[in-house]
Amino acid sequence: MNREMKTIVSITIAVLVVLLAASAPAFAGATLDAVRARGKVICGANGNRAGFSALDSKGRWKGMDCDTCRAIAAAVLGDSEKVQFLKTTTQTRFTALQTGEVDVLTRNVTWTLSRDSKLGVDFVAPTFYDGQGFMVSKKLGVKSVKELDGASVCVLPGSTSEKVAADVFRTYGMSYTPVVIESKKELNTAFFSGRCDVHVQSTSGLSSARATVAPNPDDYIILPGVYGKDPMGPVVRQDDPQWRDIVAWTVYAMIEAEESGVTSKNVDEMRKSKDPNIARLLGTKGSLGESLGLDNDWAYRIIKQVGNYGEVFDRNVGKDSPLKLERGLNDLWTRGGLLYSPPFK
């Protein structure tokens, strides 16, 4: 066979491989198979972060991260309550995911290059954009981070907060004494009891702690300035691209629903919509669910049972919650925020 014929054969084989891959039906990956066989989605959670993941007075897990987990369950199992939450710490969260103890992390994990490239995990679709802040007691009498030279600082080991605190104090040429505490609950107790001068955490985390743990929230201030970037969202293992897609598009479905005006209250009526984008989202047109290995009602169930992104935000951390956080960066791109879903096509 001459060189020209070999080239033609090689090209033909390559084209056939591409065509076969494109026409092959979606198949269930290892994680989806395991979740269906088990009958529940296991999510690694924080448990001590009001508004994101914490137990209420009735022992029910509540918060934005918990609702992300429930949305995944609604998509793949048909029931948002088919979930199990495993409490993890900053030290155990990635190990729990890597070893398969949990199917997904839904617990305020900051997306960084080193974590994304070294741990065998994939970060998908941020559900909350934040940054690190510094909280102090008003009794300390400071109004700026630059006035914290010599302060004692409460931090979690291995956290973004620990790294940001070191960077900020180094930048301003100040010294500090780290008070390293592994438990978030114990860290909050230490700060509010006066064991350390400064509490460093994402601004949403500080707001949560101040609103729910402080003896008198008005006695504490979050100093001006947001340091670093904290995009947070679900994390999955790198070994299952189908599961990654399912988790990512679960988040996108909630964002797209808000942008399209589809809510848990009107979703049944919206299924009659002639808008092709809404029809594809809700499964009345096309077959997008098949591409994920799911049925065509997967996104409908997410919105019906859990809500769109705005509903989830408002009830957990926004206007209908004790935290009263503004949407800010966590608003739709059409309103100046960072939330943006790829097209449902």
Is the per-residue pLDDT at 9 higher than 80?
A: no
Q: Is this structure's pTM higher than 0.85?
A: no
pLDDT, mean over the chain: 91
* Residue 105, both tokens: 């992390």
Is the per-residue pLDDT at 260 higher than 80?
A: yes
Amino acid at 60: R
Residue at token pair 């947070």: 232
Rounded CA separation 342/345 (Å)? 9
Instruction: Give 108's contacts (C-beta < 8 A, 6+ positions apart).
Output: 46, 49, 52, 53, 65, 128, 202, 205, 232
The CATH number of 129-231 is 3.40.190.10
Please give the residue that has the higher pLDDT: either 338 or 211: 338
Q: What is the pLDDT of residues 157-184, one digit of tens each?
A: 988 899 999 999 999 999 999 999 988 8
* Residue 124, both tokens: 């998908």
Task: Tell me how crowded residue 312 is: count the other CB atoms within 10 A of its CB.
Answer: 23
Contact (Cβ atoms closer than 8 angstroms) between residue 47 and residue 63: no
Q: What pLDDT does residue 158 have?
A: 86
Rounded CA separation 222/135 (Å)? 4
Contact (Cβ atoms closer than 8 angstroms) between residue 204 and residue 317: yes
Q: What pLDDT does residue 26 have?
A: 38
- Write out the residue limits of the CATH 3.40.190.10 domain(s) in the chain: 30-127+233-335, 129-231
The CATH number of 30-127+233-335 is 3.40.190.10
